[in-house]
Each structure stands twice: as C-alpha cells, then as structure tokens.
Amino acid sequence: MGVYTSALKAVQELKAKHGDSWGAINPEHAARMVVQNRFKTGLDIAKYTAAIMRKDMAEFDKDTSNYTQSLGCWHGFVGQQKMIAVKKHHGTTNKRYLYLSGWMVAALRSEFGPLPDQSMHEKTAVPDLIEELYTFLRQADAKELNDLFRAMDAAKAKGDEAGAAAILEQIENFETHVVPIIADIDAGFGNPEATYLLTKKMIEAGACCIQIENQVSDVKQCGHQDGKVTVPHEEFHAKINAVRYAFLELGVEDGVIVARTDSEGAGLTQTLPVSREKGDLGSQYINFLKTEEVTLDQAKDDEVLLKKDGKLVRPARLASGLFEFAEGTNIDRVVLDCVASLRAGADLLWIETATPNVADIANMVNRVREQEPTAKLVYNNSPSFNWTLNFRQQAYDAMKAEGKDVSAYDRSKLMSVEYDNTELALAADQRIRTFQADASREANIFHHLITLPTYHTTALHMNNLAQGYFGEDGMLAYVLNVQREEIRKGVSCVKHQAMSGSDIGDDHKEFFAGEAALKAGGAKNTSNQFH
C-alpha cells in the first residue's frame, strides 16, 4: 500500500470512529496534507538522511564512481531551488546533498552583520539555518505534490481514469527534496560540553552529519587563510566524542562525523599536550615543534624548555605565546591527524589543501589509507582556489614534461583571456571537468562540495542585473536575462506566487471553508500569463 493510500485509509478509519462531529472532514483532503508533510520533526529528517549517507558510503566503498556532491546554500530558498533544479534536470536527488558553510553563516546570516570566518557568529545561527533549509525543502515537496494532486483531479474530471492512475503512481512513489546536510560546527564553539550542546541543536534541526575541525575555537580561521592554530589530538577527540554522544542521546545511531584537519596550512599551536610515554600522541605532537638545542646556562628564567632525545631544547614561541611547528612537518601532521581522528570515532575526513591538485591530495590520503584502508574524504572544491590559473599551470607543467613546445605561454600569466581558446586552456578545462571523478578514483573522495557557490552567484547575478537595469538596457536587462530565461527553461519561480505556496493556500481554503473560500488563483491572477 502506497503512502497516500495508507494515509487515506487511516483518516477514513478515524472519521468513522469520531462519527458526525467529523462530518465536514474530507479524508482525501486530510490524506493529501499528511503526504505533503512527510517529516514531522527535525529528528525525523536527521534519522532519515543519516541512513541515506550510510548507504551512500557503503556504495562508494564498492565503487568510487558513486561519489556524492553538494553545494553550499546560505538561505532556505537557495537550497530549495537547488534541489528543485537537481530533480528537474537529473531526475533524482540521489547522492546530491546540501552543504552548510560556517563561512557563509558568518558572512551572510549573522545578526551582527557580515563577519569574517573566525567563529564570531552566534552559536544559534547554524541550527537556525538548518531548520530554515529543511522548511523550504519540505515546502518544495508540498508544492510538487500539490501540483500532482491537482493534475489527478483534472484527469478524473475529464474521465481519464488511466491518466489519474498514472499520476497516483507518481504520488505513491514520490521522491522527496529532503536530502542530507553536512553542517559545519567550526571548531565546536568552546569546550566539549559547548560542542555537545550545539550539536544537539543542530541534530534537532535536522542535521545528520556534523563537520568539526581541529583549530583552537576562540581563534579559529578560515581554512584558506593564514594564522591557523591547531589543538592537540586529545582536545579534538574529546569534541568528536561529544558529537557522537549527542547523536546517540537523540537516537540518531547512523549520525556521521567529519573530522577536518587544517594542519596542511597551519604552523602554530596554542597548547603543548601531556606525553605519558615516548611515542604516544602527545609525544608525536610535541616532536613536530620547531626547537633549538640549548644548555641550562643559556636558558632564560621562566621560559618553556623540553627534554628531547636526552637534550635540552627550546621550542620556538611567538610574542602571542603560540608555539611554532617545524618547517616541512605539515603533511606528516595531516596524516597523523587523519589516522588519529578515524581511530577516535570519526567517519569521514576533510583535508584543506593549498591547491586543487589530485596528485597532492592522493599523496596524503593514500598515506592515511596505508593505516586505515577504508578512509574516505570530504573535499572542499573551494572558490578560494583560482581554478583557472591552477589547472592551466598543471596543464602547462604536463605539456612541458611531455616535451611539447610551451614557448607561446607565460606560466605566470596563464589567467589571461588571450589563452582562453588555446590547446593548453582546453586541456586545463578538461582537467577541471573531470576533477571530481579523478579525485574520487585516485584519492578516495566520497563527497565533493563547493562551500560558497551561491555567495558568488548571488553577487555575480546582481552585478549583471544592476549593470543593465540602471544603464541603457533598463527593463530589458531584467526581461532578457531573467524572466525570458525563466520562462524558456521552465524555472518554477517565474510563477512566484505559486512557488511561495499560493496554490497550496487556495486548496487549503477550499478544504477548510468549501464554497465560501476566497481564492487567489482566479481569472484575474496575472500569473495566468505564464504557461
């Protein structure tokens, strides 16, 4: 029995139980409303989407071509339109997620206004956005199903029973727009207890996957900026434990934890861990420090000294009190961070890199997989990279290594438009086109995301519209580049009232008030100009 048929049967039984007092209740109408609101709470969503992620991870382990993807969305409407477009163009939401970037929350959703990505936004901002995203995704379900119910009614009215049955089949097998969200908790916003409390809020809002990073919480920096300060493993692992306990407390047994390390680009630490025996995690962390050998006579009063291999050494320390790691230790620290995180209960890894280079990513991941064979990566296809320049340089280096003549190119100026249609540029674009598939195959990347695409698309589209609308094109700038495109590409928002729920509201009015309903979708509604 399908979801609609089951809901209809349940309401019919309830109506029969309550008798005449429920005489005005139409079981078909109630069943439609039930089907249009499949998820009643954020926890329902978290449990449902966590199971999806676990299934997808298992399928990826068997075949790396089954990688998953997402785009960062800073508003519920943006996330909604993304998933509507995914369903329309690709037929399914399978293996397409949403990403919720702390960077965009800071830049676009903080009550304090635009902020840098330095854990400065309100703790509640991320849970609030998770809830907002899922509210809009559930509304997308309601709208699409409402359109199907209307189409079924129209088919029945024409006596087209076969057509009505076909539409009913679509309703019974409807694929929801609700998909997993990978939610950024930054560095946990404080101690493990604070991390646990915030995680609970995020899960209750619908999050099935929490991404947490190993920076010091109160001086956290964007992964593509300088000045990053990592924490000892025990401190980070306590927060991983806090996230897991939050999942278990709320009954989300399949909850997923992404452990992010910023060690590739971080050269500082605030804290020296306690080492209980040589070779333990604390010892390994300390051994990465930049040090110089000193004698006791050379030591200053009240400074920090360490005994290392029978010698007295002074760790390099900045005026801020932060300790420096030795040059060239970053990759080894990344590998250790990743292995230790997996052994501490993380499910997936995140490594920030200096450039989007498949070989460089694979070098790190393969070293991790020597110790943890099932290690899988979440990778940030970041807009902080200059993708055109990076890949043209990679193509240049490959051509040169193959003995091809590269004298027509200036490697330092490959971003120039003059190279756009050259052999090198086309080769670079092909590398960009296949980057995700190549990186998943070579570096075991399970999930590809773009953190900030809709930050940039919003800015770009507004730039283009403002240029034309306030210039010579006037209204044509909107009509030509927005509305006409919407109409011809079948973008649902061309009928913005319907997209926002006007048709659903009309149907509800009829359900509640019958013939007395004052509906908005009559002959004088200007949306009728769009077909």
Q: Stretch 174-196: mean pLDDT, rounded?
A: 95
Specify the pLDDT at position 48.
Answer: 98
* Token reading at 130: 């998770």
pLDDT reading at 117 higher than 90? no
pLDDT reading at 517 higher than 90? no
How does residue 507 score in pLDDT terms, banded at 50, 70 and 90? confident
CATH of 36-288+325-461, one of 3.30.9.10, 3.30.70.260, 3.20.20.60, 3.40.630.30: 3.20.20.60
Q: Which of 32, 132, 175 is nearest to 504 (CA)?
A: 32
Q: Stretch 392-414: mean pLDDT, rounded?
A: 96
Residue 92 main-chain phi, psi, to 5 deg: -160, 155
pLDDT digits (tens, 9 = 90+) for 235-287: 999 999 999 999 999 999 999 999 999 898 889 999 999 999 999 999 999 99
How does residue 8 score in pLDDT terms, banded at 50, 70 and 90? very high
Catalytic residues: 222
Quote the CA–CA distance of 329 and 291 in Å, as a whole number: 13
Q: Where are the domains of the chain?
A: 36-288+325-461, 474-517
pLDDT digits (tens, 9 = 90+) for 299-311: 888 899 999 888 9
Q: Do 438 and 370 meet the contact criterion of CB atoms below 8 Å apart?
A: no
- All residues at 6 or more sequence positions from 248 whose CB lies less than 8 Å from its CB, including other chains: 255
Q: Do 199 and 37 meet the contact criterion of CB atoms below 8 Å apart?
A: no
Q: Stretch 474-498: mean pLDDT, rounded?
A: 90
Quote the CA–CA distance of 135 and 336 in Å, as a whole number: 40
Residue-level length of the chain: 531
- All residues at 6 or more sequence positions from 387 whose CB lies less than 8 Å from its CB, including other chains: 356, 432
Side chain identity at 229, as an amino acid letter?
Answer: V
Specify the pLDDT at position 302.
Answer: 87
Mean pLDDT taken over the chain? 93
pLDDT reading at 220 higher than 80? no
Secondary structure (3-state) at 38: coil
The upper half-sphere exposure of residue 528, i.e. CA atoms within 13 Å in the direction of its Cβ, equals 7
pLDDT reading at 216 higher than 90? no
Specify the pLDDT at position 513.
Answer: 86
Q: Stretch 15-44: mean pLDDT, rounded?
A: 95
Q: Which one has a higher pLDDT value, 78 or 502?
A: 78
pLDDT reading at 217 higher than 80? no
195-218 core/surface letters (b: 16 or more CB in 10 A; e: else): bbebbbbbbbbbbbbbbbbbbbbe
State the residue for tokens 């609030």: 128
In this structure, the strands spanning 181-184 and 209-213 are: parallel
Residue 326 main-chain phi, psi, to 5 deg: -70, 145
In this structure, the strands spanning 229-230 and 323-324 are: unpaired
- All residues at 6 or more sequence positions from 270 whose CB lies less than 8 Å from its CB, including other chains: 216, 219, 229, 231, 321, 322, 323
* Token reading at 443: 């570096």
Quote the CA–CA distance of 173 and 379 in Å, as a whole number: 33
Specify the pLDDT at position 218.
Answer: 64
In this structure, the strands spanning 256-261 and 348-351 are: parallel
Residue 162: which region, alpha, beta or left (left: phi > 0; alpha: psi -120 to 50)?
A: alpha
Q: Which of 223-227, 230-234, 369-373 has the highest mean pLDDT?
A: 369-373
Q: Stretch 371-381: mean pLDDT, rounded?
A: 97
